[in-house]
Amino acid sequence: MNLIDTHCHLDYEYDGGKGPDQLVKEALEAGVGTLITIGTEPSNFDAVKEISERFPNVYHTIGVHPHDASKVDASVLADMKPRLSHPKCVAIGEIGLDYYYEHSDRNKQQAECAAQLDLAADAGKPVVIHSRDGEEDLLPLLRDYALKQKGPSLGVIHCFSGTDGFAKACIDLGFFISFSGILTFKNSEALREMAKTLPIDRLLVETDAPFLAPVPLRGKKCEPFMVKHTAMKLAEILGVPFTELAEITSANARRCFNLEAH
């Protein structure tokens, strides 16, 4: 078994002061052989890059989260461009729209999401999309990006908890859908029912560590090894053996992030 945690934040703080070395080691022991640590703002671009350089099985992304859209200007976008050629940088993200917290102005979020989507399309890099309560404004941006993307993969809608219509529209465009520990939550029955209707060759699993620890580990700070619990729940929902689900989602992740080329 070789699960891939397609979305974690190895530069964040963890219980017991755990750092990347221990997190990666414990993930490997749990059968999680590959991790992607995610950039969220200009101040952590170097941190995620350096973490990925330390481990042969860790990759990174760079991108500015919609919460921090107000920090994006032409100089930030110019700084991002050469970073995309790093051999361990596999995507731009996480980027997108978040109208739930609305830490940045909606128009600014849309403008900077569009700018980063254009950067990804020009570079042929997939994107990691954060979407919360902004699907109506986000979908047109994703459609425009899909027309421009020069690379083999559009990317993923991460930590999916949106509507059935949005999921299917994104899959129709060519995106992957990633499930986090939310899939295991008691109040997520609608999400589980929706998961049954999606094509298995477009599904990924993730932790979003240190957030959203899955059942049966709710209340703890999430860690990459816990992606196994989300994968087990997804296998149960889809009615496939866990080992088969692990193989399929890992193959999907390799396609999504073009990992064979790295």
* 173/184 Cα distance (integer angstroms): 27
Could you tell me which CATH class the domain 3-261 is placed in? alpha beta
pLDDT of res. 260: 86
* Angle at CA of residue 234, ends 202 and 201, nearest 5°: 15
* Beta strands 203-205; 32-37: pairing state: unpaired
Closest CA to 60 of 8, 18, 101: 8
Q: Which band of pLDDT confidence, cut at 50, 70 and 90, is reported for residue 261? A: confident
pLDDT of res. 108: 95
pLDDT of res. 101: 87
Domain ranges, ordered by start, for the chain: 3-261
3-state DSSP call for residue 245?
helix
User: Average model confidence (pLDDT) for the chain?
Assistant: 97
Report pTM.
0.97
Q: Which band of pLDDT confidence, cut at 50, 70 and 90, is reported for residue 262? A: low
pLDDT of res. 73: 93
Side by side, the strands of the sheet bearing 3-8 are 3-8, 32-37, 58-62, 89-98, 127-132, 155-157, 176-179, 203-205
What are 158-213's pLDDT values in tens digits? 999 999 999 999 999 999 999 999 999 999 999 999 999 999 999 999 999 999 99
DSSP codes joined into one string, 156-191: EE-S--S-HHHHHHHHHHT-EEEE-GGGGSTT-HHH
* 120/61 Cα distance (integer angstroms): 11
